[in-house]
């Protein structure tokens, strides 16, 4: 396209003004001009609209004019800025440039990007930008001719509403139905929604439980309250009480009748308590003026979600910001009979009949915790393990847990995986046949059980909520959501917390903390971020396992054997001495970094009340606990925790 330019020669220089104005992709002015007066030069340009500012050109000795490379670059930059609503000077490999582009795409705003690393005059353009804006980095963003800045400045403008006002046609916050919609009514989602409401925001919570293949569902509160931490700990306590009854004879308690456990009474009591929690959560949302809807949420367009209730009725809602807190559900084996005849932890805690002889498939903490309390209630329990116990935890501690469980009647079948589950007999619980194959050879295994409990891991509930519609990225391998250190996804108005975060701990207190802090950052002016380092946790197996910091394997990987000192000790709880059980079973160790003054980088304990013991040490580790400080600490006697205050044995690496 050839457009005329108005030129005026004054004292050997030429002034240019576009008429009509184009967004110039390239310029090649070359035209003989008169020595004075007005003249016209032809410029080759790409089609477009807009206006470019005047620029001076030199007149050659023979009446021809030319623009220097620097002036051409300046003209090009000014023209691009003037003729594009959103102009991004970018580099194709820059992750911050990609983030800015994703921001505008998520807002449905078209932009023009010039990739400086693939443009011939890229360095010259970047120099011009530096002179114009005093910014030498990319991305360099302009909107309606106004300089916004780089990636951080653009996101900050988005978060405080400046970006929306400059763009003009993007919805302001007050045009949405809600300030915040939280998808998922678990621990993290509830914490975030209530905190946001406390800070004066209009909030909605969508929560919906897709029934299990056996039809099990539950109320508000998420996994922890309904099918996780709470019922698990209560049933663990039921098993511990059974052991305490056995121990009581050694302490002088006498009773004639044989004590037995009633599964139905326990389940009813546990479910009654959970029901009270469900009601309490609904009441707390009401008190905070949070709108709660028992519906399945699914994105249909940016800032808009479809909510479908149990009756199939659909409503639509918009919000300025969304928080994903959908949690996870148990993974199935993908073999014949798994969904038809097997149960998961989603079914176990409300099972209306005693499971009887049980095969637990898996070696996760869920598998071992369930196997442990079922055995403690007097059931015949077998655990089928594909590889190692408690992957991700300290393996020395994991093997000690397995050995203790075997001592107390749990059978382990190692290096086998099920291939088929068949029903032999109907009933509650009925009778099942399990076929399994070895992971190391041609051997097969067949066994009969009343119940098969699958606990091989969990999958994030992110694949069917319309994230692809609005461009939220997930890890395709596990469905988890990558976020930055502020829990923000690649789409700027969508955040995520809890078990669905990629690479973060799947713990209820972590989700609660992250949810509260996120709401405070969004609406309370806070800058505090969730600290995912040195978070304590406990596995509630019969011999409880508490830990904080690095597993020994991870510590070796991070620091090297030569830079670590590991101190460890066996101990015998006083309460167990009178009944004379489980001596040389409880165990504790600390892992210290010699390069950092023997700072404690890992704490591990096996024994009764391990969670209570670990909590205090977690605070100390967060404050920089060292072996010297630990040695100087006077313990409380007689307690299990005091073993950490005693000088323990040094564990040498051979």
Q: How confident is the model at residue 650 (pLDDT cuts 50, 70, 90)?
A: low
Confidence of residue 52 (pLDDT cuts 50, 70, 90): very low
What pLDDT sits at residue 70?
Answer: 73
Q: Which of 376, 387, 420, 357 is nearest to 540 (CA)?
A: 376
Q: What is the domain class of 338-456 according to CATH?
A: alpha beta
**Cβ-Cβ contacts under 8 Å for 446 (sequence gap 6 or more):** 433, 434, 435, 436
Average pLDDT, the chain: 89
For β-strands 55-59 and 37-44, DSSP reports them as: unpaired
Decide if pLDDT at 323 tops 90. yes
Closest CA to 427 of 333, 360, 344, 354: 354
Tokens 């923000």, residue? 488
- Topology classification of domain 2-167: Glutaredoxin (3.40.30)
Please check the confidence at residue 67 and state whether its pLDDT lies above 80: no
Helix (H) or strand (E) holding 339: helix 338-341
pLDDT digits (tens, 9 = 90+) for 552-568: 999 999 999 999 999 99
Distance CA 494, CA 86 (A): 22
Q: Where are the alpha helices (DSSP H) in 524-597?
A: 552-559, 574-577
Length of the chain, in residues? 654
Q: Could you tell me which of 621, 623, 599 has the C-alpha nearest to residue 546? A: 621
Q: How far apart are CA 76 and CA 25, in angstroms?
A: 7
Average of pLDDT values for 377-402? 98
Report how far residue 67's alpha carbon sits from residue 394's, in angstroms, rounded to the nearest whole number: 69
Q: What is the mean pLDDT of residues 381-399?
A: 98
Q: Give pTM, 2 decimals.
A: 0.79
Question: Is there a contact between 352 and 215 (Cβ–Cβ < 8 Å)?
Answer: no
What is the DSSP pairing of strand 13-18 with strand 55-59?
antiparallel
- Paired residues of 223 in beta bridges: none
In this prediction, residue 651 carries a pLDDT of: 64
- Which pair of structure tokens corresponds to residue 34? 């008169």
Question: What's the mean pLDDT in 488-507?
Answer: 97
Q: Is the pLDDT of residue 437 over 70?
A: yes
Cα(633)–Cα(616) distance, integer angstroms: 13
Contact 650, 566 (CB under 8 A): yes
Architecture of domain 544-651: 2-Layer Sandwich (3.30)
Reported as type and span, the H/E element at residue 324 is strand 314-324
Question: What is the rounded distance in angstroms from the CA atom of residue 593 to the CA atom of residue 552?
Answer: 11
Question: pLDDT per residue over 19-32, tens digit each?
Answer: 334 444 434 333 34
CATH number for 178-330+459-523: choose from 3.40.50.300, 3.40.50.720, 3.90.1150.10, 3.50.50.60.
Answer: 3.50.50.60
Two tokens, residue 587: 């165990």
Residue 632 CB neighbours (<10 A) = 9
Helix ranges (DSSP H) in 107-186 = 122-133, 151-159, 162-167
Pairing of strands 37-44, 2-10: antiparallel
pLDDT band at residue 4, thresholds of 50, 70 and 90? Answer: very low
Between residues 387 and 65, which one has the greater pLDDT?
Answer: 387
Q: What is the pLDDT of residues 81-136, one digit of tens each?
A: 999 999 999 999 999 999 999 888 887 789 999 999 998 889 999 999 999 999 99
Which residues, in sequence order, are bridge partners of residue 291?
204
Do 544-651 and 338-456 have the same topology in CATH?
no
Q: Give pLDDT, residue 649.
A: 62
Cβ contact 65:35 at 8 Å: no
Range in 400-404, 580-584, 640-644 the model is least confident about: 640-644
CA 9 vs CA 31, 72, 108: distances in Å: 13, 18, 45
Taking residues 336-348, report their average pLDDT: 98
Sign of the torsion formed by the C-alpha atoms of 269, 274, 279 and 281? positive
Ordered by start, the domain boundaries in the chain are 2-167, 178-330+459-523, 338-456, 544-651
| pLDDT score, position 169 | 52
Q: Is 637 a catalytic residue?
A: yes
Backbone angles phi, psi at 594, to 5 degrees: -65, -30
Report DSSP state, residue 526.
-
What confidence score (pLDDT) does residue 34 get? Answer: 41
Residue 592: φ, ψ to 5°: -120, 145
State whether residue 557 is helix, strand or coil.
helix
Per residue in 235-260, pLDDT (tens digit) is 999 999 999 999 999 999 999 888 89
Interatomic CA distance for residues 81 and 62, integer angstroms: 34
- Tell me the C-alpha to C-alpha distance, in Å, between residue 72 and each of 20, 69, 79, 118, 129: 18, 5, 10, 17, 13
| Contact of 561 with 653, CB cutoff 8 Å | yes
Angle at CA 114, nearest 5°, toward 110 and 116?
Answer: 155
Q: Are 570 and 578 in contact (CB under 8 A)?
A: no
Comparing 8-22, 467-481, 574-588, 602-616, the range with the smallest average pLDDT is 8-22
pLDDT for 140 beyond 80? yes
Residue 17 has pLDDT above 50, yes or no: no
Catalytic residue among 66, 84, 604, 637: 637
In eight-state DSSP terms, residue 357 is: S
The more confident residue out of 174 and 253 is 253
Q: How far apart are CA 502 and CA 491, in angstroms?
A: 16
């Amino acid at each position: 396209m050839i457009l005329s330019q108005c030129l005026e020669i004054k004292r050997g220089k030429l002034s240019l003004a576009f008429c009509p104005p184009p967004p110039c992709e390239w310029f090649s002015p070359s035209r003989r001009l008169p020595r004075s007066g007005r003249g016209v030069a032809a410029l080759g340009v790409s089609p477009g609209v807009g206006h470019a500012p005047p620029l001076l050109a030199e007149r050659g000795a023979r009446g021809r004019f030319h623009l220097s490379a620097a002036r051409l670059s300046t003209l090009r930059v000014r023209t691009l800025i003037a003729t594009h609503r959103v102009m991004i000077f970018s580099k194709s490999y820059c992750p911050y440039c990609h983030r800015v582009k994703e921001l505008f795409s998520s807002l449905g705003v078209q932009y023009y990007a010039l990739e400086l690393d693939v443009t011939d005059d890229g360095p010259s353009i970047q120099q011009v930008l530096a002179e114009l804006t005093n910014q030498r980095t990319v991305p360099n963003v302009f909107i309606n001719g106004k300089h916004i800045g780089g990636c951080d400045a653009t996101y900050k403008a988005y978060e405080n509403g400046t970006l929306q006002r400059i763009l003009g046609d993007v919805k302001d916050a007050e045009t949405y139905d809600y300030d915040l919609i939280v998808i998922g009514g678990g621990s993290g989602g509830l914490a975030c929604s209530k905190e946001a409401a406390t800070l004066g925001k209009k909030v909605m919570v969508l929560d919906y439980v897709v029934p299990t293949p056996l039809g099990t569902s539950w109320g508000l509160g998420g996994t922890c309250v309904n099918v996780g931490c709470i019922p698990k700990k209560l049933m663990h306590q039921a098993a511990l009480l059974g052991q305490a009854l056995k121990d009581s004879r050694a302490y002088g308690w006498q009773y004639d009748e044989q004590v037995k456990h009633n599964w139905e009474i326990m389940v009813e009591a546990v479910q009654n308590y959970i029901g009270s929690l469900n009601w309490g959560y609904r009441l707390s949302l009401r008190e905070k003026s949070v709108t709660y809807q028992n519906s399945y949420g699914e994105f249909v367009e940016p800032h808009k979600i479809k909510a479908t209730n149990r009756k199939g009725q659909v409503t639509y809602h918009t919000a300025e910001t969304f928080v994903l807190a959908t949690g996870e559900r148990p993974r199935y084996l993908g073999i014949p009979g798994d969904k038809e005849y097997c149960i998961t932890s989603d079914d176990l805690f409300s099972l209306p009949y005693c499971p009887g002889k049980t095969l637990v498939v898996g070696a996760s903490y869920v598998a071992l915790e369930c196997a442990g309390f079922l055995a403690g209630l007097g059931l015949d329990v077998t655990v089928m393990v594909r590889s190692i116990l408690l992957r991700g935890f300290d393996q020395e501690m994991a093997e000690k847990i397995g050995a203790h469980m075997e001592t107390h009647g749990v059978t382990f079948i190692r290096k086998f995986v099920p291939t088929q589950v068949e029903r032999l007999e109907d009933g509650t619980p009925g009778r099942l046949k399990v076929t399994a194959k070895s992971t190391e050879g041609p051997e097969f295994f067949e066994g009969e059980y009343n119940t098969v409990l699958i606990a091989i891991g969990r999958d994030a509930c992110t694949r069917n909520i319309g994230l692809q519609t609005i461009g939220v990225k997930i890890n395709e391998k596990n469905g988890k959501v990558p976020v930055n250190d502020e829990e923000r996804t690649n789409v700027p108005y969508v955040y995520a917390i809890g078990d669905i975060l990629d690479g973060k701990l799947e713990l209820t207190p972590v989700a609660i903390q992250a949810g509260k802090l996120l709401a405070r950052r969004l609406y309370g002016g806070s800058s505090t971020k969730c600290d995912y380092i040195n978070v304590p946790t406990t596995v509630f197996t019969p011999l409880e396992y508490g830990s904080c910091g690095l597993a020994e394997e991870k510590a070796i990987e991070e620091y090297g054997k030569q830079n670590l000192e590991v101190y460890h000790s066996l101990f015998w709880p006083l309460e167990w001495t009178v009944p004379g059980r489980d001596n040389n079973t409880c165990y504790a160790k600390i892992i210290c970094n010699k390069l950092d003054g023997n700072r404690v980088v890992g704490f591990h304990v096996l024994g009764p009340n391990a969670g209570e013991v670990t909590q205090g040490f977690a605070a100390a580790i967060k404050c920089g606990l060292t072996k010297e400080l630990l040695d100087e600490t006077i313990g409380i006697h007689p307690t299990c925790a005091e073993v950490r205050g005693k000088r323990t044995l040094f564990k040498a690496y051979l």
